[in-house]
Structure 1
């Protein structure tokens, strides 16, 4: 299951077509043809409850959407990335920056690194926070070299006002 934009639990496109995520194009095509016949509004059987509204048209549209996305390799790859991301609860990162891209503000005992956000606020991190992660920053904002086994690191920073996030990539060589 994957969380949808309206935060309700929805079936994945693979579940809609009743195929595995490793299904071939041919398996997806066969499953689509079967699902479209089973959900097509014109093929629905008349029942005693004909006046009761059904969600068959919605199911039909879901099958159509699943086919549109999964039948094309590029859109299927994009969908698989989104699916994996939602399962791993990975945060969507707006961009990657380096320490050199940030504004340095030094006080007597700490250095604050700032990067402007589109909303007008800033992404920020202090030398104390970086120090807790084993990353040392000098007063002029330079990363101090560490042991040879620790080459680089990254930290996800959230904006102070909006929901955007960036990844600060730190080269410790």
Structure 2
């Protein structure tokens, strides 16, 4: 369901670039293409110049895990059931907007937090937002978030400690927060 340690819902289907109703042959074809394009041996020179080493290795392992799960009919069935249940859970999640978040600027990465009832936090960072297609701009007093497409978006964020979740909504346009927002 969740890819790695990120808070963004990225399914194994997303990783392989196939629809959830794809047949095994479509999944296999997509897997072969993705694994060849991200193999560490092939990417070694590119990784040294343009990608962090852990990023290409992580991508390769993500693709491998997705294939291992979706390439087996039994594990795929279990995964699909869990995915449906997770989406059902998301229906009952509390809704929050980007403007409701607390901003923590940690240098290269900006973290956005929302406090849970258990006193821990739901969180998403600027790297995860970038993966979702958002562009973050910073100046001395404001942080702006722009969507690369003009559609509204949402993401389910789990709490760091308990089982509660929130649905974070982003509007379709530009969103601006004061740098000391909620601090």
TM-score range, shorter chain: 0.3 to 0.5
Task: Give the alignment's TM-score, normalised by structure 1.
Answer: 0.46
Greater fraction of residues in strand: 2
Larger Rg: 1
Greater fraction of residues in helix: 2
Task: Give the alignment's TM-score, normalised by structure 2.
Answer: 0.44
